[in-house]
Structure 1
Amino acid sequence: MATKSSFALLFLGSVLQIFGFGKWLVPLAAWLAPVFLLHFTRDAQPINGFLWLWFSLFVALSVSNRDVIPLQGAAFFGVVAAMSTTMTLPFLLDRLLAPQLSGFSSTLIFPAAWIALEFFAACLNPYGTWGALGYTQHGNLPLMQLASVTGIWGIGFLVAWFAAVVNWSWERQFEWGAIQNGVLLYAAVWSLVMLAGGLRLAFSPEVSTVRIAGIGWPKGIIEPSEFVRVIAPDFTAIEREQIRGKFHRLQDSFFERSRREVQADARIIVWPEANLMVLKEDEADFLEHARRFARDNDIFLLIGMGVLEPGVSRPVENKAVLLNPAGETAFSYIKSTAVPGFEASVNVRGKGPIPIANTPYGRLTSPICFDLDFPQVIRQVGHSEADIMLVPASDWKAITKLHQLMAEFRAVENGVAMFRITRWGGSGAVDPYGRRLAAMDDFTTQDNVMVAQVPASAGVHTIYARIGDLFAWGCVVSLLAIIAWRIFHA
């Protein structure tokens, strides 16, 4: 039965969870919060404990995800309520099932339940893997290498299992004779993962690089409200001519700053998601200009284009267009995912697949921003043995650091280098092992240009690219088997 001391643990765990995922991500908090929350639920009655935990997590997630989730009012709290439910269910399943198992094996219930439910939520909800526990360990490079085998699910499993092991030890009053074997087993698994990750980093080969420049959003030409106005139903012909002039100035800015980076020996230029804005009727003329630019400067030019067609039901084509040094279109890809809300209501939805282009610098590919929140979408990049992901992206201030670090796990999972340039957010480049090559904050950089020397033709084969989410499915099957065993042996 819950006591004052156990409610104190609930409070402590909930406060730590504020820093578990969201605006203030602290990796250590993600390890500690489940420890205290799990100990609370083991002391409480199942239903009462579930309700108290759900409410506490609802408050914590509402605080940490304010402005991170781009919704307001009831819609925001509805999403937070769903997240709280998904996060609370593993504790309930552990409370009901773990006491039925004897010994150290009971510690596997909680991490298996956490990953199974997190995986199902990622497959079924329109936000993909937002909030996944594995993301919290960004920056721990040896541990991040586990994503090349299990995806982010294996990392999340280790974190959740730690909570279960600590609670198991706690219930035995940390008496070493009673907990020695279990603690040493967990320590051995954790050490093996860290050692393997460290060796993977240490023995990564040295490779040649290519200079890539990302040209960010120019300040003072077009305001976001003007873009929204273009796709309004009552957009007028006079406004069309006014915005066309601003689009031309926007285009000139991108070409001029790109020319400067070409002179500094950049061989690939990348423009962020939908940053090059053009009216549908002007698209052909603009692309001809861009082809001449790529041909005259002997570069690959990846254009994040927003092609706008006022007056139609879905007036925005969100494209990634790669032009080669011959001035030819290597590929043109329309974004296949859309952020729920405004973007989903106005974007033409692409059907994929994510294209690949063979170049002297390796196989290039360009998923767009939100695509990278769905590991099953990006796995085709690894399966196609791509070498570099050129990612045009567009974020908002509250997720400046968060969304970039999430994207970097896709590079590790699929063994590709990544160059991600973002409008209104954080940009970064990493090698196939997740090591940072460059970073830029759009809100603190004046010219918004990021340059990196990125490994060329250096894609790495990964187990995850071949087997996908097999580890997560293993957690699902294991959890269902335990539930079935419990039902038939009740």
Structure 2
Amino acid sequence: MDFRARRIVLALAALAASALLWYLGTGFAPIAALTWLAPLPVLLLAPAERAVPVFGIAFLASMIGSTNSWGFYTRSYDVPLPMGLLISASFAVTFALAVLVFRALVLRGKAMFAAFAAPALWTGAVYLISLNPFGIVGTLATTQAGSPVLLQIASVTGAWGTDFLVVFASAALAALCAPGVAKGARLRTGVVAVLVFGLVLGFGALRLSGTGPFAKPDGQRQRIALIVHNHAGWGIDVASAEGRALIRDYTAEIAALPAGVRTAVLPEGAFGSTEANRGALTGPLAGVARAKGVSVVVGLAHKNPTYQLAVVVAPDGTTRDYRKQHDAVGAPGHSLTFVPASRTGVAICADLDHPNPSGKYAGAGARLLAVPASDEGENGWQHSRNGVLRGVENGFAIAWSGRASRLLAADGYGRVRTDTVTGGAGALRRVVTEVPEGPGATPYTALGDWFAWLCLAVTAGAVLGSVTRRTR
């Protein structure tokens, strides 16, 4: 095989391997271990290939890998296909640019800088993407939601630290294997990489054990109920016959809750009403809340004008509203709402795709967040894990009640206590579980997205370092 043919074979092999790893390691059912390897084949190829082909191979690998979500986009109301393809392309361009920066620095003999610059560019760019009005879901950090020891770094860096680590693992390994890197540079890069992961995992283990430098004791344990109707549609009018039957089903289920449940969370858009007829819902819920001594949080699609509410019905029968702060179809709210006589805050679904109101709730003392949500089946795991990440970032537990998705409860350290798929033959799905309230506000709560900005600064330095003269 001549040199040209060998280059083509290696390029195609890197493309195929990386695309397959992106496909299996991301999306709505990721294999978390493979996510760490997805960037590696293209990063290994990069120093031996020209810049333009490397960019194209990296872009195609990521785009092909993202086809694991394209079928969903064709059926989705929230993320239609054009928006889904734009999301895929944004991540693909980000990956391709990270590979180019890695290549340029390795060719200039800066192996350790390359190992840090590629994940810094990825993380900084994903942070900038997240500033769009719809927020962000499905980052590399989300794929690692099943590893609480790794997630603890998010309490300091935000989820950006986990995204950085996933790319850093491949970049460090590729820098160690790059041709022409001096022996001393390989040694230093390897030692620093081991040190980084040792510190992160050690910190995570200490924090989970309750003895870490930022560890705080859990709050009191709270018994919660997550309830969703398996077959009801969105925003059922409370004044209709279907709405009245649905109210009876929910109130009967709440009335049958075991003793000790303090909060019951129903899904987003469980009912729909105008201001004039919402009493048809809050009246029966107030009656059962008094009888059971339980607070009920229910999603209400308000009509004329349109906006999304979570209505909190207290055990004394009073109500208070939380208006969704990131509402794509109606006027957004701006205020925080707590369940009376508790440290339980209330948010709705897509609110957790943004840093706030989660950070504001933590700053105001929230130790648990009740989240009425509405997903589209396939994306339920991914979206609910976005909520888990917000909980770790800010030190509060999560009670996620998702229409057509999941019923999930996790503590403030990202340890999932219950996770149940909704749907099935029965009319209602109910989960009752006990979850400790989270430890409270974290360094990330106070410092915000400092790590993402640090990554942007490193990226700027990497770009400047990429224009220096190559080493031989």
RMSD: 2.7
1:319 corresponds, among 304, 309, 314, to 309
2:168 corresponds, among 158, 161, 168, to 161
1:392 corresponds, among 372, 379, 386, to 372
1: CA distance, partners of 2:465 / 2:228: 56
Kindly tell me: are residues 148 and 398 of structure 1, through their superposed partners in 2, closer, same or farther at Cα, counting changes over 3 Å? Answer: same
With 103-112 and 289-298 compared, the bigger mean Cα shift is at: 289-298
1:98 positional shift: 4.5
Deviations 1:279-316 (A, max 9, x none): 4431134323333332333221111112334xxxxx64
Matches within 5 A, 1:410-425: 410-425=390-405
2:30 corresponds, among 10, 25, 29, to 25
2: CA distance, partners of 1:477 / 1:376: 24
8 Å CA contact 1:7, 1:40 repeated in 2: no
Correspondence for 2:294: 299
Q: Which amino acid aligns with 1:334?
A: R
Deviations 1:234-257 (A, max 9, x none): xxxxxx89x711111111111110
Correspondence for 1:337: 326
2: CA distance, partners of 1:483 / 1:86: 14
With 35-44 and 248-257 compared, the bigger mean Cα shift is at: 35-44
Kindly tell me: are residues 43 and 485 of structure 1, through their superposed partners in 2, closer, same or farther at Cα, counting changes over 3 Å? Answer: closer
1:3 positional shift: 3.6
Q: Which amino acid aligns with 2:44?
A: H
Correspondence for 1:77: 85
Deviations 1:212-232 (A, max 9, x none): 11111243xx446xx6xx8xx
Kindly tell me: are residues 184 and 444 of structure 1, through their superposed partners in 2, closer, same or farther at Cα, counting changes over 3 Å? Answer: farther
Correspondence for 2:362: 382
Q: Percent identity?
A: 24
8 Å CA contact 1:376, 1:468 repeated in 2: no
Kindly tell me: are residues 482 and 182 of structure 1, through their superposed partners in 2, closer, same or farther at Cα, counting changes over 3 Å? Answer: closer
1:85 positional shift: 2.0
8 Å CA contact 1:304, 1:321 repeated in 2: yes
Deviations 1:76-100 (A, max 9, x none): 4344323322332222233334433
Q: Which amino acid aligns with 2:229?
A: W
Aligned length: 456
1: CA distance, partners of 2:222 / 2:80: 43
8 Å CA contact 2:47, 2:107 repeated in 1: no
1:153 positional shift: 0.8
1:355 positional shift: 2.4
2: CA distance, partners of 1:398 / 1:302: 24
Q: Which amino acid aligns with 2:45?
A: F
Q: Which amino acid aligns with 1:303?
A: V
2: CA distance, partners of 1:66 / 1:87: 22
1:450 corresponds, among 421, 431, 443, to 431
**What TM-score, normalized to structure 2?**
0.89
For structure 2, the 5+ residue unaligned runs are: 211-215
8 Å CA contact 2:150, 2:162 repeated in 1: yes
1: CA distance, partners of 2:469 / 2:336: 48
1:206 positional shift: 5.9
2: CA distance, partners of 1:5 / 1:52: 11
Instruction: Specify the SS of the correspondent of 2:26.
Output: coil
2:406 corresponds, among 426, 449, 458, to 426
1:404 positional shift: 1.4
8 Å CA contact 2:343, 2:366 repeated in 1: yes
For structure 1, the 5+ residue unaligned runs are: 231-239, 310-314, 339-343
Correspondence for 2:254: 258
8 Å CA contact 2:98, 2:121 repeated in 1: yes
2: CA distance, partners of 1:211 / 1:127: 32
8 Å CA contact 1:172, 1:179 repeated in 2: no
With 14-23 and 85-94 compared, the bigger mean Cα shift is at: 85-94
1:308 aligns with 2:303: yes
1:100 corresponds, among 108, 120, 124, to 108
Correspondence for 2:277: 282
8 Å CA contact 1:244, 1:279 repeated in 2: no
1:39 positional shift: 1.8
1:209 corresponds, among 221, 224, 229, to 221
Deviations 1:377-424 (A, max 9, x none): 421122222111001011112113221122101111010011111110
1:184 positional shift: 2.1
Kindly tell me: are residues 54 and 103 of structure 1, through their superposed partners in 2, closer, same or farther at Cα, counting changes over 3 Å? Answer: closer
Which structure has the highest helix share of the two?
A: 1
2: CA distance, partners of 1:272 / 1:73: 26
2: CA distance, partners of 1:112 / 1:98: 15
With 45-54 and 98-107 compared, the bigger mean Cα shift is at: 98-107
8 Å CA contact 1:142, 1:194 repeated in 2: yes
Q: Which amino acid aligns with 1:167?
A: A
Deviations 1:348-381 (A, max 9, x none): 222313323552xx41111101111112442112
1:352 corresponds, among 316, 328, 334, to 334
2:16 corresponds, among 2, 11, 15, to 11
1:267 corresponds, among 258, 262, 267, to 262
Matches within 5 A, 1:197-236: 197-203=204-210, 205=217, 208-219=220-231, 222-223=232-233
Correspondence for 1:183: 190
Instruction: Specify the SS of the correspondent of 2:343.
Output: strand
Correspondence for 2:245: 249
Kindly tell me: are residues 84 and 127 of structure 1, through their superposed partners in 2, closer, same or farther at Cα, counting changes over 3 Å? Answer: farther
With 60-69 and 4-13 compared, the bigger mean Cα shift is at: 60-69
Deviations 1:303-341 (A, max 9, x none): 1112334xxxxx643111112222222x31111214xxx
Correspondence for 1:312: none
1: CA distance, partners of 2:87 / 2:269: 27
Instruction: Specify the SS of the correspondent of 1:320.
Output: strand
Instruction: Specify the SS of the correspondent of 1:215.
Output: strand
2:136 corresponds, among 129, 148, 151, to 129
Q: Which amino acid aligns with 1:323?
A: V
Instruction: Specify the SS of the correspondent of 1:281.
Output: coil
8 Å CA contact 1:388, 1:419 repeated in 2: yes
Instruction: Specify the SS of the correspondent of 1:353.
Output: coil
Matches within 5 A, 1:467-478: 467-478=447-458
